[in-house]
Amino acid sequence: MNRPLSAVAGGVTGIAVMTLLLLFLEVETRSNLAIFEAVARFAGMPGNVTLGFLLFLLAGVFAWPLAFMALEQYIPGGPDPATRGMVLAVALWVVFVLTGRGDLSGGLLAIYVIFTLLAHLCYGFLLGAVYGRLTSESPVEADRYDPTDVSQ
């Protein structure tokens, strides 16, 4: 599969899992975190949760995966695309936490920080793993096939 489609496929997989994790967090905190409201607030449309959710999906499916594809070779984390995806996700998480935490404090802020980090790590892992698998750049594939080995 070509690289842009592989990146988007990784983004779809990662954002699906991340969305479920964040929705679970919203339910468990009785919507006190307002994660998608924070995205809308960041985009300059406070109060528009639908817009925040759509921006969240579009960024997760297209913007970050295509940026990952373009920057992958410069991202630290070795040859494993899944590890590189997690490194990118941590950078995204830092911006997400700094801009989206709103008025949270105390225990709710701690839950927000920890749970959003886990959600971002899942997103980055899946983005990189699917991308690597579809482009056959994973270390597992590289170990399996050696073009110079005539015994294969």
DSSP 8-state class, residue 55: H
Cα dihedral 22, 51, 6, 119 in deg (nearest 10): -10
Reported as a single tens digit per residue, the pLDDT across 108-152 is 889 889 999 999 999 999 999 999 999 975 455 555 555 566 565
> What global pTM score does this model have?
0.83
Residue 121: its pLDDT value, please?
97
CB 3 within 8 A of CB 69: yes
The total number of residues shown for the chain amounts to 152
Better-predicted residue by pLDDT, 49 or 124: 124
pLDDT digits (tens, 9 = 90+) for 19-39: 999 899 888 888 777 788 878
Please give the pLDDT value at position 7. 96
